């Protein structure tokens, strides 16, 4: 978790307008979701990886590691979709017969499955482009400008702040436990984990009291006001539109070629 | 008292083993880009009325007691941190909606729609669990169906004069289970099988998701009991102030 946030703040793309990045990412997501073109999925993936790694300065190794995160869900769901019951062995690439029941993967299933796989990977790449170039605070500013309810934005800001404090607490405690052999084997490890969770909740509520007192002493009346004086640069609109047009062109081209 | 704490820890250990095993193999957020655009949109639209009702109810709670704003935020952060913590000896993280089930019993289900949605958005942006386009579907299963089920079952058990721990356990466990059933339904609606349509697809997904989530749901129930008990103890001793909650006597 640290990684995404850390690299978002240190990205070379951070200095650009967050609104533009959000819009660009949504455009990419939309085109990826709407089409069924293998070429488009691959080009979106390559494009966003290029932007994040070479333009944004994200280490390649770490990026690939991040990309591996959703693979578990993806593989299981895609496999679940591809393996189907069939009436006969005909047309199945891979079949398994259990007495009278035949299950297997058909050619259409395989194409559909791999399409979904690549599509999801492309979308995850786009999501990473946004996560790795725009810190959450910037995204919250965009949401604020989009006129979302004030209460919602404030809640998000508060949770975002608390997450890091609590996370720190949790990780420090876990490190302290580990350095005292608290995780030397499974049984001890699980005991330590239990201690950690209950302490964490207690401390969170305790800290809450202190934060509230501190805020009240400074005249807190229900809203936190934070200055934002970030200076942003503009991305060239022509480039963004050109990328979008090329991508759609790629999708149309593949459609024509297949026909 | 020490014995009691030890017992709680044992229950927690069981929880950790179970959730570790279950989550090491399956994540349950629908990932980015997995749903067709029409379904992404429809689930988001379905979420909107719940979300607005949640915001209104949250406003009411905060107007009554300003401090509850921070407590709500803290619950959100706690739920998030829980989902990001590594469970010992099992690779991968344990990502589930524990805090959300707990929050539904403490604060009512409406508020949790908002808190849950925020936590899910943050999980997508900071942990890459779930995604932006699938946010609507995930919010519906984890922040709307789960909390409403948990709260309803908790209240029902209390009405039937069940002891509090049992009510909390049943609420959290069944709420959790229903979340995964909902996720399975969402996936099968979006991807009906060639032969047998939605039903056949639903059976496949239910088999894989809900059944593997059963141990996780039980452990989630146990954990929620432990947490509610310790909350109760702490607030009885005056160590923490739950604001509006302790006044209403919902848990204490």
Q: Is residue A27 domain-shared with residue A68, that is, in the same domain?
A: yes
Q: What is the DSSP letter of B127?
A: I
Q: Is residue A121 domain-shared with residue A244, that is, in the same domain?
A: yes
Q: Of B12, B29, B37, which has the smallest distance from its Cβ to A197's Cβ?
A: B12
CATH number of the structural domain B33-241:
1.10.1760.20
A142 found inside a domain: no
pTM assigned to the model? 0.83
Domain count of chain A? 2
Closest-CA residue in chain A for B14? A190
Q: What percent of chain B has pLDDT over 90?
A: 13
A143 found inside a domain: no
Q: Is residue A173 domain-shared with residue A104, that is, in the same domain?
A: no
Q: Of A121, A167, A198, which has the smallest distance from its Cβ to B81's Cβ?
A: A167
Given a contact cutoff of 8 angstroms between Cβ atoms, the answer to whether A86 and A102 are in contact is: yes
> What are A144-193's pLDDT values in tens digits?
888 888 888 888 988 988 888 888 888 888 889 889 987 776 667 666 76
Range 197-226 of A in CB contact (< 8 A) with B: 197-198, 200-202, 204-209, 211-212, 215, 220-222
Chain A, chain B: beta-carbon pairs less than 8 Å apart: 234
Pick B169 or B6 by higher pLDDT: B169
Given a contact cutoff of 8 angstroms between Cβ atoms, the answer to whether B213 and B26 are in contact is: yes
Start-end of H helices in chain A: 2-10, 18-34, 38-50, 60-68, 71-82, 107-133, 136-145, 150-179, 186-217, 237-258
Kindly determine whether residue B240 and residue A108, on different chains, have CB atoms separated by under 8 Å.
Answer: no
Q: Of B74, B89, B230, which has the smallest distance from its Cβ to A189's Cβ?
A: B89
Closest-CA residue in chain A for B226? A198
Q: Is residue A83 domain-shared with residue A194, that is, in the same domain?
A: no
Q: Is residue A163 domain-shared with residue A216, that is, in the same domain?
A: yes
Given a contact cutoff of 8 angstroms between Cβ atoms, the answer to whether B111 and B102 are in contact is: no
> What are A211-232's pLDDT values in tens digits?
888 888 988 776 777 776 677 8
- Report residue A94 as tokens: 């891979």
A69 found inside a domain: yes
Kindly determine whether residue A194 and residue B12, on different chains, have CB atoms separated by under 8 Å.
Answer: yes
Q: Is A186 on the interface with B (CB under 8 A)?
A: yes
Q: ipTM of this model?
A: 0.84
- Range from A228-242, B17-31, B133-147 carrying the lowest mean pLDDT: B17-31
* Euclidean distance between CA atoms B119 and B194, whole angstroms: 36
Q: Is residue A166 domain-shared with residue A56, that is, in the same domain?
A: no
A26 found inside a domain: yes
* Euclidean distance between CA atoms B117 and B51, whole angstroms: 8
> What are B67-79's pLDDT values in tens digits?
778 888 888 888 8
Q: Is residue A221 domain-shared with residue A248, that is, in the same domain?
A: no
Kindly determine whether residue A204 and residue B78, on different chains, have CB atoms separated by under 8 Å.
Answer: yes
A140 found inside a domain: no
Q: Is residue A39 domain-shared with residue A166, that is, in the same domain?
A: no
* Euclidean distance between CA atoms B208 and A226, whole angstroms: 46
Q: Of A33, A192, A211, which has the smallest distance from its Cβ to B133's Cβ?
A: A33
In this predicted structure, what is the pLDDT of residue B48?
Answer: 93
- Mean pLDDT in residue range B213-220: 72
Q: Is residue A78 domain-shared with residue A200, that is, in the same domain?
A: no
A45 found inside a domain: yes
* Euclidean distance between CA atoms B53 and B114, whole angstroms: 9
A141 found inside a domain: no
Q: Is residue A121 domain-shared with residue A240, that is, in the same domain?
A: yes
Kindly determine whether residue A1 and residue B126, on different chains, have CB atoms separated by under 8 Å.
Answer: yes
Residue ranges covered by each domain of chain B: 33-241
Kindly determine whether residue A186 and residue B34, on different chains, have CB atoms separated by under 8 Å.
Answer: no
Kindly determine whether residue B72 and residue A155, on different chains, have CB atoms separated by under 8 Å.
Answer: yes
Range(s) of the domain holding residue A203: 149-226
Q: Is residue A3 domain-shared with residue A115, that is, in the same domain?
A: yes
Q: Is residue A160 domain-shared with residue A83, that is, in the same domain?
A: no
Closest-CA residue in chain B for A2? B126
Q: Is A116 on the interface with B (CB under 8 A)?
A: yes
Taking Cα atoms as reference points, which of B70, B60, B8, B14 lies closest to residue B232?
B8
Q: Phi, psi (5° rounding) for residue A148?
A: -75, 155
- In Å, how far from its chain's centre is CA A187? 33
Which range has the top average pLDDT, A84-93, A148-157, A194-203, B92-101?
Answer: A148-157
- Mean pLDDT in residue range A243-252: 84
């Amino acid at each position: 978790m640290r990684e995404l946030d850390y690299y978002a703040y240190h990205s070379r793309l951070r200095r650009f307008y967050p609104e533009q990045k959000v819009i660009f990412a949504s455009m990419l997501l939309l085109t990826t979701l709407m089409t069924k073109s293998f070429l488009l999925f691959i080009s979106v993936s390559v494009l966003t990886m290029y932007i994040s790694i070479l333009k944004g300065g994200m280490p390649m190794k770490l990026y690939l590691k991040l990309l591996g995160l959703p693979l578990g869900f993806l593989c299981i769901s895609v496999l679940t979709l591809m393996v189907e019951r069939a009436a006969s062995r005909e047309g199945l690439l891979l079949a398994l017969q259990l007495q009278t029941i035949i299950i297997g993967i058909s050619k259409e299933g395989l194409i559909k499955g791999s399409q979904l796989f690549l599509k999801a990977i492309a979308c995850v790449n786009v999501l990473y482009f946004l996560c790795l170039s725009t810190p959450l605070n910037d995204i919250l500013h965009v949401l604020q400008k989009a006129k979302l309810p004030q209460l919602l934005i404030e809640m998000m800001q508060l949770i975002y702040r608390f997450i890091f404090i609590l996370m720190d607490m949790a990780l420090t405690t876990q490190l302290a436990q580990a350095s005292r052999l608290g995780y030397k084997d499974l049984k001890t490890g699980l005991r330590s984990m239990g201690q950690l969770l209950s302490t964490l909740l207690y401390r969170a509520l305790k800290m809450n009291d202190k934060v509230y007192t501190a805020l009240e002493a400074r005249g807190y009346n229900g809203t936190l006001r934070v200055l934002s004086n970030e200076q942003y640069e503009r991305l060239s609109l022509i480039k963004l539109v050109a990328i979008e047009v090329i991508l759609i062109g790629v999708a149309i081209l593949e459609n024509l070629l297949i026909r | 008292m020490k014995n009691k704490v030890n017992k709680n820890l044992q229950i927690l250990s069981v929880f950790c083993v179970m959730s570790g095993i279950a989550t090491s193999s399956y994540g349950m957020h629908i990932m980015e880009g997995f749903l067709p655009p029409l379904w992404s949109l429809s689930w988001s639209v379905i979420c909107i009325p719940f979300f607005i009702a949640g915001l209104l109810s949250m406003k009411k709670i905060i107007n009554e007691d300003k401090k509850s704003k921070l407590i709500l935020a803290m619950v959100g952060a706690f739920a998030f941190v829980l989902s990001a913590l590594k469970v010992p000896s099992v690779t991968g993280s344990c990502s589930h909606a524990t805090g959300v089930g707990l929050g539904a019993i403490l604060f009512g289900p409406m508020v949790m729609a908002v808190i849950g949605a925020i936590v899910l958005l943050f999980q997508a942006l900071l942990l890459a669990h779930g995604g932006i386009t699938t946010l609507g579907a995930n919010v519906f299963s984890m922040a709307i169906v789960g909390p409403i089920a948990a709260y309803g079952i908790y209240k029902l058990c209390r009405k039937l004069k069940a002891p509090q721990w049992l009510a909390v356990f049943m609420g959290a466990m069944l709420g959790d289970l229903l979340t995964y059933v909902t996720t399975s339904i969402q996936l099968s609606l979006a991807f009906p099988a060639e032969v047998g349509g939605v039903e056949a697809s639903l059976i496949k997904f239910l088999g894989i998701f809900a059944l593997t989530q059963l141990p996780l749901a039980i452990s989630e129930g146990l954990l929620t009991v432990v947490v509610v008990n310790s909350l109760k103890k702490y607030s009885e001793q005056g160590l923490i102030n739950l604001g509006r909650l302790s006044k209403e006597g919902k848990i204490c």
